């Protein structure tokens, strides 16, 4: 092969892949969080689920990213496996839009599209305009790369060695294997189909040769979801099995059709454009497979559960992250849209779990003091150690994720969650302080007066009310924040009132000096719990679309 052909091919491939990455980054920054919210809410009906999956994938031009989002939602319990089936089917249809765009053959105006996009990035300061510019620039660069690859590969039509190598693709098994492996390596069916279209436009391959490679590419695209499912729940792993089963069934069906019917000549008769022929076959593959499998979504779920049945050893013991699943570094880096959506959803679930543990420890602490029983300290200490573990692990996760984040909304959400995590951990610290006072009370044989005990009961009740409010999913963020703020103010007022009452008891000689010191320290912890609760509410209220997170 002439070195100029190789350089032209590599240069075109570089521009093509970089253009796709620019488009993905721009789309993720502009719309990643909204895509997540749509996926969460509109998946109850199978037809609506397919339409949503197709629409979102058509916009972000990556079925892998959509499927990765679905894996995350299933892992966090926000979506059922049955709902995931419809989204995956739609995602396979939506991903064909890239091939159809390439088939439009607008290479002549590609430099203009790229220029407009770059101008928007350079001359406009508004982030939203720059994101759109990134999408246009990526699209233009993508088409320029396609033209370069097509031009570079034209001489290969006269190379007997290359023609003989490509002709082996007409063997179904070889073609499917080549398509699957290549797509798995670059982790993008849209990119690999685009490269196949470039080969077709240069006249190196025809539809009869390329069709099996195309089917294999649909299998290879499942690798990204498989990587995303590493370390996730059993149900999340089953989601990838559904995705793989869909494409395996489609590949088997269309391979048989191409071998036994005049499907390929029929598709060639519709248009003389080789690139459009491949795009049309790709679209037909996914639409027909979806129509056939749509009534059998339940069977796909049962198949996935049969392949990956529940196991006793899957029940996690000891300290662990329940919802938060760090993804493989390479996959995280290449598919921002899916992973940023998963980050925000999983962080919310994990922090709610952490807050629930802190709330339980506060309740345990007040019960220990009221009973004067230090026997509850080991239980509270164990929970506090768990909270410290979660604080460290979540902090590490956010620190890693935020460096890769391009979506401003999700980046702000993760920063807020980082601060929320620290405040939850501090509530746990104050709970253990309160609990340990029970040890002093027993060792020094101190008993609080009936009035002081009544005040402790009030503190316990308002703490429970405040922390329960934090765990709610508010319909109106403003009203919710106002309610938490009112509860925090109530804690401040109670603290001042109880200190005044304590001073009065001291004057009357009703309580001992040591008892007064312990009660005063307890009031300080009580007030701090209210402060941290308000910090959590304020940070969460500042997260965009906090009510929908």
Those residues whose C-beta lies under 8 Å from the C-beta of residue 187, and which sit 6 or more positions away, are 64, 221, 223, 224, 331, 334, 335
Q: Say yes or no: 350 and 206 in one domain.
A: no
263: which 2 tokens? 């499907």
Count CB atoms within 10 A of the CB of residue 472: 11
Question: Whole-model pTM?
Answer: 0.59
Within-domain flag for 315: no
Q: How far apart are CA 542 and CA 549, in angstroms?
A: 12
Task: State pLDDT tens for residues 39-78.
Answer: 555 555 778 888 888 877 776 666 766 777 777 677 666 6
Q: Say yes or no: 337 and 297 in one domain.
A: no
Q: Maximum CA pair distance of the chain?
A: 107
Which of these, 425, 230, 96, lies nearest to 417 by C-alpha position? 425
CB 204 within 8 Å of CB 165? no
Within-domain flag for 531: yes
Domain of residue 410, CATH code? 1.20.58.220
Q: Say yes or no: 460 and 521 in one domain.
A: yes
The alpha carbon torsion through 490, 494, 497, 501 (nearest 10 deg) reads 160
Q: Say yes or no: 285 and 429 in one domain.
A: no
User: How much is the pLDDT for 424?
Assistant: 96
Q: Say yes or no: 142 and 25 in one domain.
A: yes
Q: Which domain holds residue 534?
A: 329-548
Q: Say yes or no: 273 and 351 in one domain.
A: no
User: How much is the pLDDT for 249?
Assistant: 93
User: How much is the pLDDT for 331?
Assistant: 43
Within-domain flag for 286: yes
Q: Say yes or no: 56 and 102 in one domain.
A: yes
Low-confidence ranges of the chain (pLDDT < 50): 313, 317, 327-338, 546-549
Q: 3-state SS of 202-213?
A: CCCCCHHHHHHH
Those residues whose C-beta lies under 8 Å from the C-beta of residue 167, and which sit 6 or more positions away, are 209
Count CB atoms within 10 A of the CB of residue 496: 11
Q: How far apart are CA 251 and CA 206, in angstroms?
A: 19
User: How much is the pLDDT for 44?
Assistant: 58
Those residues whose C-beta lies under 8 Å from the C-beta of residue 191, and which sit 6 or more positions away, are 16, 17, 20
Which of these, 488, 417, 501, 513, lies nearest to 456 by C-alpha position? 501
Q: Domains in the chain: how many in total?
A: 2
Q: Say yes or no: 456 and 375 in one domain.
A: yes
Q: How far apart are CA 493 and CA 491, in angstroms?
A: 5
Which of these, 461, 277, 448, 258, lies nearest to 359 by C-alpha position? 461
Task: State pLDDT tens for residues 486-515.
Answer: 999 999 999 999 999 888 888 877 777 787
Q: Say yes or no: 205 and 354 in one domain.
A: no
Q: How far is CA 275 from CA 195, 199, 218, 254, 314, in A?
A: 10, 9, 17, 19, 47
User: How much is the pLDDT for 517?
Assistant: 87
Give backbone dihedrals phi and psi of 187, rounded to 5 degrees, phi first.
55, 45
């Amino acid at each position: 092969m002439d070195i100029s052909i190789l350089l032209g091919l590599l240069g075109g491939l570089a521009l093509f892949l970089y253009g796709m990455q620019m488009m993905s980054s721009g789309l993720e920054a502009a719309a990643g969080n909204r895509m997540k919210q749509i996926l969460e809410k509109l998946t109850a009906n199978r037809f609506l689920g397919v339409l949503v999956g197709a629409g979102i994938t058509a916009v972000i031009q990556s079925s892998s990213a959509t499927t990765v989002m679905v894996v995350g939602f299933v892992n966090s319990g926000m979506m059922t496996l049955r709902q995931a089936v419809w989204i995956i089917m739609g995602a396979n249809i939506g991903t064909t839009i890239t091939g159809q765009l390439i088939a439009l053959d607008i290479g002549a105006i590609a430099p203009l599209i790229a220029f407009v996009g770059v101008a928007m990035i350079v001359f406009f300061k508004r982030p939203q305009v720059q994101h759109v510019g990134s999408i246009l620039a990526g699209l233009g660069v993508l088409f320029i790369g396609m033209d370069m690859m097509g031009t570079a590969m034209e001489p290969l039509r006269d190379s007997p060695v290359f023609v003989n190598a490509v002709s082996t693709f007409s063997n179904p098994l070889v073609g499917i294997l080549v398509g699957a492996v290549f797509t798995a390596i670059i982790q993008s069916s849209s990119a690999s189909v685009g490269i196949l279209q470039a080969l077709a436009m240069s006249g190196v391959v025809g539809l009869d040769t390329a069709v099996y490679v195309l089917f294999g590419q649909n299998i290879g695209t499942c690798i990204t979801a498989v990587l995303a499912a590493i370390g996730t729940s059993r149900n999340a792993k089953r989601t990838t099995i559904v995705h793989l089963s869909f494409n395996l069934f489609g590949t088997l069906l269309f391979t048989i059709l191409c071998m036994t019917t005049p499907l390929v000549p029929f598709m060639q008769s519709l248009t003389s454009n080789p690139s459009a022929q491949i795009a049309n076959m790709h679209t037909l593959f996914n639409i027909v497979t979806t129509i056939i499998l749509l009534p059998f979504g339940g069977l796909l779920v049962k198949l996935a559960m049969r392949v990956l049945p529940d196991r006793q050893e899957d029940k996690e013991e000891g300290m662990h992250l329940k919802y938060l699943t760090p993804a493989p570094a390479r996959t995280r880096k290449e598919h921002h849209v899916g992973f940023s959506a998963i980050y925000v959803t999983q962080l919310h679930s994990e922090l709610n779990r952490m807050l629930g543990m802190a709330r339980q420890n506060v309740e345990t602490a007040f019960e220990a003091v009221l009973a004067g029983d230090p026997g509850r300290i080991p239980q509270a200490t164990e929970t506090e150690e768990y909270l410290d573990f979660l604080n460290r692990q979540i902090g590490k996760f956010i620190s890693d994720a935020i460096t890769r984040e391009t979506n401003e909304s999700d980046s702000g959400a993760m920063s807020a969650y980082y601060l929320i995590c620290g405040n939850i951990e501090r509530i746990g610290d104050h709970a253990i302080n309160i609990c340990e006072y029970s040890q002093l009370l027993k060792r020094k044989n101190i008993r609080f007066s009936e009035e002081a005990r009544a005040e402790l009961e009030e503190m316990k009740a308002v703490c429970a009310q405040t922390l329960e409010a934090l765990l709610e999913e508010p319909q109106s963020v403003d009203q919710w924040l106002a309610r938490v703020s009112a509860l925090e103010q109530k804690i401040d007022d109670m603290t001042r009132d109880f200190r005044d009452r304590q001073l009065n008891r001291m004057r009357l000689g009703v309580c001992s000096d040591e008892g007064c010191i312990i009660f005063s320290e307890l009031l300080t912890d009580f007030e701090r719990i209210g402060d941290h609760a308000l910090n959590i509410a304020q940070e969460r209220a500042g997260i965009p679309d906090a009510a929908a997170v």
